[in-house]
Amino acid sequence: MEDPEPEGAAPPPGLRSVLPSREFLCSGKGQLLLAESVLSFIIFICYIASLAASFMMAPLLEFLLALFLFFAYASKLNEKFKGVHWPLADFLRCVTAAIIYFAISIAAVSKYSDGASIAAGVFGFAATIVFAFDFYITFNYLVTSLQRGSSDSPEGHKTQDEDYDSDSD
């Protein structure tokens, strides 16, 4: 029986069209989003199995948001939809996630004594660090892109005193 495809031929584009590129997976942003997704899913599972099940909604939402942004960046939706300021949305997501994970991790570790709650709290502290690192990197990107954009425009050369109306005194 003869093989219909030669050995050097590329596989059909079925599943590969959905999977992110190797280039994005190896990038820093891809690895951070993947780490955020995995940690959020682990924390979600830990909260389901714990006495602190009331905290399970935050990791579920963060998992879904990180997964959405992972595939949005991997499929270059940020380049197709220019109406959304993607770095700002990502920054706000990371800041709120870091604050929420820190708060619920403290509550889970201090209030509940079962193993799953403590594991969720420990993973939550790790997620806090990952999200904080992501918002630090995203913040630096936002600042440099805003400085670059404001130095090109004529309004970027105004001083802070020129922005205020002098007749308001």
- pLDDT classification of 15: cutoffs 50, 70, 90: low
Asked if residues 97 and 63 have their Cβ atoms less than 8 Å apart, the reply is no
pTM: 0.74
Asked if residues 102 and 124 have their Cβ atoms less than 8 Å apart, the reply is yes
- In the structure encoding, which two tokens stand for residue 90, read together? 């990502």
Asked if residues 127 and 36 have their Cβ atoms less than 8 Å apart, the reply is yes
pLDDT at 163 over 90: no
> How does pLDDT run across 96-115, given as a tens digit for each residue?
999 999 999 999 999 998 99
**Phi, psi dihedrals of residue 24, rounded to the nearest 5°:** -70, -40
Using CA atoms, how far apart are residues 85 and 78, in angstroms rounded to an integer? Answer: 8
**Average pLDDT value for residue range 28-39:** 90
Q: Which residues of 135-162 are buried (b: 16+ CB within 10 A; e: fewer)?
A: bebbeeebeeeeeeeeeeeeeeeeeeee
pLDDT at 148 over 70: yes
pLDDT at 159 over 50: no
Residue 1 CB neighbours (<10 A)? 3
Q: What is the pLDDT of residue 166?
A: 46
